[in-house]
Amino acid sequence: MMLSNIFSYSGILSYSIVRKTLRNVTAVKQPRTVSSVSLGHGVNEFFSVIIPPIIPLLVSDLGISYAQAGFLLTVFFLMYSIFQLPAGLLADRIGKKRLLVAGFAGMSGAIILASVAISYEMLILAQVISGVSGSTFHPAGMSLISDVESDETEGKAMGVFGFGGMVGTMASPVVVGGIAVIAGWRIALAAAAVLGVIVTIVFIVVFDDEEERTGNRSEPALGDGGRPQTIQEGFQFIRRTINVPLTSGVLILLCVTILVSIQSRAIQTFTTAYIADGAGAGTSVGNLGFFALLLGGSISSLWAGDLADRFDRGTLGAVAGVGTAILVAATLLVPTVAGTATSWILLIVLSLWFFAIGAVMYACVPVKNALISEEAEQQYSGSLFGVVQTSSAAGSAIGPSLLGAVATNWGVAAAYPAIAAISLLLAGLFGLLSLSG
């Protein structure tokens, strides 16, 4: 009886501690806005990876090749990248909340179109619409959070924002893939579209009584009719239109953003391959390690955001970079572990190991976003986050290709630990921000 009471009190105490901790790390200034935008982030990431879980079904049903199926993703991310900066500029002109609603409506409509596609060309059109629509989210959503949160809560807000995105990324293969197996890929896409419509309605209800006014900026009077006539005037026109002060801090943060994206996309791309092929542990173990990586990242996003409001952000980013470098470099031991451990021990060790990598690596994301938010004034925050997300897209494109070249020449067993060098460069840039601050 006494032992039962001890367990009961321990459970109540643990629940109370966890609840209090969660309340602390999510104590933002504008919870209604932050939670809504974070929910939107989850749906945006959910839609971004909606095709991969159903690729085998598309190949068999529509008679397309795997190369054609892969091109659908290329189309989406190409549109997603190209329109990030224009979306940021548009957010400052028509309003960030209005642009968010339009983006969700566009993505939902694109997924509905994909669900009724009778040809490969219709799927490509759907991906074009989805990519353009999805490109509106990050510049508008991140700048909106930056506008409504104070310096003391920006880290927490960006942590909640990142958590929403990570949950969406993890949910898409499970939800879409699961429904597709049971009811087919068309029903799976239709169900996902319904989710997008619901989120769109939520945004309309939440924000329809609070019209955002960002003001209109006058266009520069360049050349004949306000249009640039020379290369120099063209650069002046672009700089005036973007309206982002390129201070040393902003330039360093753009470099940080590129390296963060190179690091994370490279690790995401090669985790399964490294565990399965480089260590000979098998694809199922590799996918479990990949899931553990994302799980660690989703949890650490909340706590890292809270820490970013308590401690020096540059120092936190540097610590996360060094920690990631150590853990990723230590994966050189994975082949040894795989060769000596039993299957269950291997499963547990690799899951914990890659959970730790995800937790440390993704900790730098809300820290980086909070630092960017410090630089963002409301009149140009959309433009700034548009520039930032364009840099992020560039890093996302570079990472897999760069490490893919290393893997081709020296093998994936060498490529994955090589990511540690990128993490150290990232730590150095965070250190510069800490010193300059």
Each domain of the chain, given as residue ranges in start order, spans: 28-207, 242-436
Among 292, 420, 275, smallest CA distance to 356 is for 292
**pLDDT tens digits for range 268-323:** 767 776 777 666 666 667 767 778 888 888 888 778 877 888 888 889 999 999 99
**Contact status, residue 111 vs residue 130, Cβ threshold 8 Å:** yes
pLDDT average, residue stretch 47-52: 80
CATH code for the part of the protein at 242-436: 1.20.1250.20
The amino acid occupying position 45 is: E
**pLDDT tens digits for range 348-386:** 888 898 899 999 998 888 888 888 777 766 555 666 777
Q: Which of 15-24, 31-40, 45-54 has the weakest average pLDDT?
A: 15-24
Q: Which residue has the tokens 């753009």?
A: 254
Spatial distance between the Cα atoms of 295 and 148, rounded to a whole number of angstroms: 28
Q: What are phi and psi of 213, to 5 degrees?
A: -120, 115
The DSSP-derived string for 372-412 is HHHH--TTTHHHHHHHHHHHHHHHHHHHHHHHHHHHHHH-H
Q: Which residue has the tokens 């308590």?
A: 310
Q: Which two tokens stand for residue 405?
A: 């070249």
Q: Which fold has domain 28-207?
A: Growth Hormone; Chain: A; (1.20.1250)
Among 383, 361, 363, 359, smallest CA distance to 372 is for 383
Phi-psi region of 415 (alpha: psi -120 to 50; beta: other; left: phi over 0): alpha
Q: Which two tokens stand for residue 97?
A: 């909340």
Spatial distance between the Cα atoms of 309 and 269, rounded to a whole number of angstroms: 31
**Contact status, residue 157 vs residue 32, Cβ threshold 8 Å:** no
pTM of the model: 0.66
Q: Say whether 242-436 and 28-207 share the same fold.
A: yes
**pLDDT tens digits for range 101-122:** 888 889 999 999 999 999 999 9
Q: Which two tokens stand for residue 32?
A: 């209604």
- Indicate if the pLDDT at residue 224 is higher than 60: no
Question: What torsion, rounded to 10 degrees, do the Cα atoms 376, 267, 164, 210 define?
Answer: 30
